[in-house]
Chain A
Amino acid sequence: MQFVMRIIWGAPQLQRSHRYSRAQRRSNQQQTVLTVLSAEGLNGPPKQGQTELAEDGWISRTLAAFRTSGADIQSVPAPMEEMRVDCLAALRTQRMPTTRNEEYRFTDIAPILQLEPQVAASATVLPGEAIAALVEASPLKEAVARVVVIDGAVASQLSDTERLPQEVFVGSLREAPALPAAQQLGKQARLRGSPFALVNGATAQDVLCIAVPEGVTVESPIHVLYITSGASSVTAPRLLCTLGADACAEVIEEFVGPAKGAEAHFCNAVAEFDLADRAQLLHGYVALEGRRALHMKGTLVRQAAESSYKLTEARLGGRLTRQDINIEQAGEATQTEMGSFLLCGDEQLHDLHSKLRLEHPRGTANQLHKCIVAAGRGRGVFDGAVKVEQKAQKTDAGQLSRNLLLVPRATVNVKPNLQIVADDVKCTHGCAVSDLEESQLFYFRARGVDAAMARKVLVYSFGAEVTGEFAYPELRARIQAAVDRTLANVPILEEPAAEAA
């Protein structure tokens, strides 16, 4: 259909309008309702242009759903209000991307756009049995603090932050509106975030703040458990994490979904991290939502001089998931490490878009991306950009992407790229899309283990190079269980001695 149109009209603009026409028609219908709502339900005088909400149909509908729920008239702390206004303004002319945008070429977000946005009426969902069960099933006994975020709202009754050092604040921004760190809210996402991050900024109902002041070390991890209850079809969890100079912390973000059989839902999460000089952050990101979940995650990091940021990511759940990670270097000699493991089963698409920009000397950066596609209808997407600017002399950067395609028709689209402007740097990058490594298989066989068994062991452990960075057995076991579930029916791992000949 589209192909035919291109021949007839030959103008991409027309194609675009064709694509949007249906959604826009729907959004026009919505707008009649909205006008009424905005006239009576707004907090303060109506701001200019708010009756239109947005040009884009989906954005319009999402903002409308948020408004219908009444969440926007609740009084919110000033930094949140500021972010909201800012994002709403930006969204007015924002268009959601299509596969014709380079950034979304291989990731069709249609399932998200087709989802009817609906936000549950009450801002804080009361924890029911299902949620208690999910909390129960996701323990992390080494954690010094646990925060449960339900549908984007911090659930303090399920959280435990007692044992944290006194100077450290972990909780909803509503509880600490005057927190100095809150000034950072939305700053990074506004400049470097994706369209989804803007939508999050406009619709976030709460903000979880983690503020570790100067010189404080939090020895054990802070476990943030994001639960999607299924009550809303769109949620927007938001995290702001700031580390003062010489501060040190570990934050593990874990996303779990509603129980089986739930409707599709879209979790649109954003996390901003601000690291002052010499701060050290270990960041864990584990996505274990249900198979119908749609999941977008924006991670924005700003690293001051000599700070160190290390991401360990394991993404296994969800139907369509994507992380946009954007790291900016704000000073010399920063250390950045990113490890990602993505496992795509049947009808799963996992996308990782990372951008790292080095603008100061003597930085080091290392990225390892590992992806398994275990089903013909699975797809992995990776676009990793490392940009070494003129000033970033003596940079040491490495990037490696390894992809394993286990069945025919399994697909990965990988685009590792390294742009180097500086001339005195050490940079390596590599990408492999392959079957298992022959040398590893032979090593097993030379020790008496047959090829089928060796293959199995190697596939199951493929992601362990990344997930092994988690020092917590319970978390590793949850990840491994998800790996086992996805790989359970892969034919190549079942047939004995398939490759022995």
Chain B
Amino acid sequence: MDIAAMQHSSHCALLRGVPHPRHTICWNTKTRHGKRLRCSTVTLCSGQVLLEVKDLEAKVAETGNTILRGVNLTIREGETHAIMGTNGSGKSTLSKCLVGHPDYEITGGTVTYKGENLLDMEPEERARAGIFMSFQSPVEIPGVSNSDFLRLAANARRKQRGEPELEPLEFYGFVMPKLAALKMNPDFLNRDVNANFSGGEKKRNEILQLSVLEADVAVLDEIDSGLDIDALRDVADAVNGLKRPDSATLMVTHYKRLLNYVVPEAVHIMEAGRIIYSGGLEVADILEKDGYEGIKTLIKKEAAAGKEPVAA
């Protein structure tokens, strides 16, 4: 790692009162990180901004219930972020809004992805542009084989990037190494999409899709739920293995154990549709120890000390 970058990063952390993140990855020293400090929740010294969420508000389309009440989040190349929060705080809604889920309606704010207005794009356009969300409980599609599904998806993305589409045999060559890297049985390809998959198999299948789509921003919604320790480690290894210097990961989780394996630079706490606090991995420790009350106490303490709350 570039020494200058390391200095930058610790400098940033000091300035903001955030302890040095354990694994700050600073691939791109060209970033003008200094002036970003005040406007974004957490600014780490890495690459270009990939995704920028500003004052995002959203409601459930059917009932009109407002879920998101002004979310701000900036994710740069090479970064890993985690969002934690109580049930119903809007974590999953945020993930779904990012991929354009039809159940939710955006009522305010902006989302910029690689400089473009993400909210103007159809769900399939977002996916082809490189945004990926793993579903909490992926739907079963009996009758459609996993290999056909993956090939359709891969070709949609390849077409977008101007790459040639893959024929079934070529696709086999393309996907086999990916399966091997994820320690998955090739048998997966012949089975129907998620049909009769165990919880763990479904999660692995989501990661396989992430791998095949070679996404730039991976939004992993509770990828750890329902996994035993070994499966969790496998899935986490796979996620780590798929990270690239120019990609980013956003994890939604309830538990710190995932963060022990996929270590984030930033942890955000959501409540009532907003990010109320952001920090490094130590935030997750406080959460683990004292629960959400602990975070609230921390916010009060910091406010008393005159520190600006992190989130807008």
Interface set of A (CB-CB < 8 Å, partner B): 437-440, 442-451, 453, 457-458, 461-465, 468, 500
Contact = CB atoms under 8 A, between A and B. Distances in A.
Nearest to A437: B139
A440 B142 CA distance: 10
B124 A445 contact: yes
B247 to A, nearest CB: 16
Interface of B: 99-102, 122-124, 127-128, 133, 135, 138-139, 141-144, 148-149, 152-153, 156-157, 160, 192-193, 195, 209, 213
8 contacts: A442-B123, A447-B127, A447-B153, A448-B124, A448-B128, A448-B153, A448-B156, A468-B192
B127 A443 contact: no
Nearest to A468: B143
Contacts of B160: 448
B303 to A, nearest CB: 39
Contact of B143 (A449, A451, A453, A465): A465
Contacts of B193: 443
Contact of A450 (B99, B133, B156, B195): B156
B209 A461 contact: no
Given A438-B102, A442-B101, A442-B102, A450 B124 contact: yes
Contacts of B122: 445, 450, 500
B143 A447 contact: no
Contacts of A440: 139, 141
10 smallest A-B Cβ distances: which pairs? A464-B143, A461-B143, A448-B156, A448-B127, A465-B142, A447-B153, A445-B123, A448-B128, A445-B124, A439-B139
A389 B166 CA distance: 56
Contacts of B213: 447-448
Chain A binding surface SS class: helix
A452 B227 CA distance: 35
Contact of B124 (A437, A438, A439, A449): A449
Nearest to B212: A447
Instruction: Identify the interface centre among A439, A445, A447: most chain B CB within 10 Å of its CB.
Output: A447
A457 B127 contact: no
Contacts of B141: 440, 443, 458, 461
A443 B156 contact: no
A447 to B, nearest CB: 4
Contacts of B152: 444, 447, 449, 453, 457
A437 B139 CA distance: 10
A438 B192 CA distance: 18
A447 B153 CA distance: 5
Contacts of B148: 457
A446 B193 CA distance: 14
A451 B100 CA distance: 13
A458 B144 CA distance: 7
A450 B143 CA distance: 19
A161 B303 CA distance: 87
A449 B156 contact: yes
Contacts of B138: 443
Contacts of A457: 144, 148, 152
A451 B152 CA distance: 12
A468 B102 contact: no
Contacts of B128: 448
Contact of A461 (B99, B102, B144): B144
B137 to A, nearest CB: 10
A451 B101 CA distance: 13
Contacts of B209: 447
Contacts of A443: 135, 138-139, 141, 193
Instruction: Identify the interface centre among B124, B135, B148, B160: most chain A CB within 10 Å of its CB.
Output: B124
